[in-house]
Amino acid sequence: MLTDLIPAEWQQLLHRCIESEEFCTLSAKVENAYSNATIYPKKENIFRALELTKPKDVKVVIIGQDPYHEPGQAQGLAFSVPHGVKIPGSLNHIFQEIEMELDIATLPTGNLDRWAVQGVLLLNATLTVEAGKAGSHEKFGWQQFTAEIIKQLSNNYCNIAFMLWGNSAIKLSEYIDTSKHIIFSSTHPSGLSWGKTSNPEKMKG
């Protein structure tokens, strides 16, 4: 069961969701997918974002779309890739914006574990994907699960910055109490959407 892979602190926060029929159905779909195809990330890394960032430690939430669908890239953190793997275009754009706006040099690696352990929750809206098929698990029901994460963080904590990049992420704004938190929304930093605008402020919301 997927529930067994969710860290205890998050299970407590999300207990109503993970005890629901909808999550049971999602779990069955995911288990079946892993049994019949190559799925990313590795099963044990589906909830790695939750493992590295506890609810009480969340300072920033960055919402991605779904995991990278090419071999050796997805590791359970939105936008992140393992050490030694070529930095994907979307992450390159994020790094470029950080360097341009904050004058901070980024490290020559796409591994974002260092962000996660400092309180940046790197969460994809859909947590699994079939190899070579972007968006293949969008209709599995993951969005309800990730929406519940956003809702519970909003309800139970204060002063979190939510970075909503792209239309699917921006839809999650309805679950965020803006009297307690701040939202930065913009286009998704993928090569496709990035190329549609030349506005250097686009990543700042």
Q: How far apart are CA 165 and CA 45, in angstroms?
A: 23
Catalytic residue positions, numbered: 66
Q: What whole-number distance in Å separates Cα of residue 54 and Cα of residue 58? A: 7
Question: Between the CA of residue 199 and those of 105, 164, 169, 193, what are the distances in Å?
Answer: 21, 17, 20, 12
Residue 133: left (phi > 0), alpha (psi -120 to 50), or beta?
A: beta
